[in-house]
Structure formats: C-alpha cells, structure tokens
Amino acid sequence: MTDSGFMTCTGIHFKRMYHEILFALLGLTGDIIILSEDPILRLPTFRIKDGYSLLNDAEQEQINQILPLGWYYQQFQHFQAEI
C-alpha cells in the first residue's frame, strides 16, 4: 500500500473504479458502468459491464446493488428539468 491508501500494483484500476461509481451515482455512465436492462424487472438500470475481471463476484454484486440509485437520480434530474 502507498501513502494514499491505494494498492501499488493496481492503484490506477481502483481509482478508476471509484470514479466510475461516483459518476454513476450522479447519473452518468462510463467505460465500466453501463446502462442495461434489469433481467427481472425489465427496466433500465446501471450495472458493471460483463467481462470486467478486476473485481471478484462478491464486489461486483455489491456494487451492482447500489448502481440503480444512479439511474433513479438520472431520471429525477430529467423530470426536474422538464418542470
């Protein structure tokens, strides 16, 4: 670990993931977090793209559970802009 608290060998990847999550929670997608359809509800949502191998399954599951909040925030922003 470095003084900044990030792992030295994959620190860039962790920083990028943090940025992607924060932007997604503000309603913006990126290279890692994409707009997708929820397979159960058949509604749009944000999720980590398939094949992203730098997170284990448990980490992906936890992040994917909070990402719909970003889609809801995006929809709220669109609604607010129309008023």
Where do the structural domains in the chain lie, given as residue ranges?
11-82
- 33-63: b or e for each residue (b if 16 or more CB lie within 10 Å)? bbebeeeeeeeebbbbeeebeebeeeebeeb
| Helices vs strands, H then E, count in the chain | 3, 2
Decide if 18 contacts 33 (C-beta within 8 A).
no
Return the amino acid letter for 65: Q
Q: pLDDT digit string (tens) for 22-81?
A: 999 999 999 999 999 988 889 999 999 999 888 889 999 999 999 999 999 999 999 999
Q: Binning pLDDT at 50, 70 and 90, where does residue 6 land?
A: very low
Rounded to two decimals, the pTM is 0.78
